[in-house]
């Protein structure tokens, strides 16, 4: 056996700082002389449950701490996105009124703007198709240059 290995001679479950139940490496089990076997069994089981619950609770606490950390990271990334743009300025440009929800204004007006862009492109295509080569070239350059 390696000098770094500590051989286990016995495993004990203690109660009030005295061995309640001891399992020896040769397989023998000894119990406290001051308790009846049924009392020893009840106390030993209670000690095992208590220790298991501590481990289970510690595991649950770690899981909850990890979940809180993930939620805090998500919140910070969401707030960073919010800081990157000024919803109030955009809603005002879109005609939002004082007291009106900025998000509702943006959600209502942006589709209208996209539809208007589509109609303008269609009108530009129709004008470009009037067989004037300069209009056609200028229109396609303008379409390609849009942001």
Domain membership of residue 58 (yes or no) is yes
For 40-65, what is each residue's pLDDT tens digit?
888 888 887 777 777 778 888 889 99
Domain membership of residue 68 (yes or no) is no
Contact 82, 102 (CB under 8 A): no
Domain count, the chain: 2
Domain membership of residue 122 (yes or no) is yes
Domain membership of residue 59 (yes or no) is yes
Domain membership of residue 97 (yes or no) is no
Domain membership of residue 92 (yes or no) is no
Contact 117, 109 (CB under 8 A): no
Domain membership of residue 130 (yes or no) is yes
In eight-state DSSP terms, residue 32 is -
For 71-118, what is each residue's pLDDT tens digit?
999 999 999 988 888 888 889 999 999 899 999 999 999 999 999 888
Min mean pLDDT across 31-40, 92-101, 122-131, 134-143 is at 134-143
Domain membership of residue 2 (yes or no) is no
Domain holding 135, by residue range, is: 103-145
């Amino acid at each position: 056996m390696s000098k770094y290995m500590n051989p286990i001679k016995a495993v004990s479950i203690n109660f009030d700082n005295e061995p309640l139940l001891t399992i020896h490496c040769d397989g023998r089990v000894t119990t406290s002389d001051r308790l009846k076997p049924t009392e020893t069994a009840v106390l030993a089981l209670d000690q095992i449950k208590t220790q298991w619950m501590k481990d289970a609770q510690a595991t649950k606490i770690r899981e909850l701490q990890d979940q809180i950390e993930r939620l805090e990271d998500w919140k910070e990334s969401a707030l960073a996105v919010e800081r990157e743009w000024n919803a109030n300025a955009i809603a005002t440009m879109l005609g939002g009124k004082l007291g009106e929800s900025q998000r509702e204004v943006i959600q209502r007006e942006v589709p209208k703007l996209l539809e208007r862009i589509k109609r303008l492109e269609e009108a530009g295509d129709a004008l470009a198709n009037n067989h004037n080569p300069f209009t056609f070239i200028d229109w396609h350059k303008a379409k390609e240059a849009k942001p």
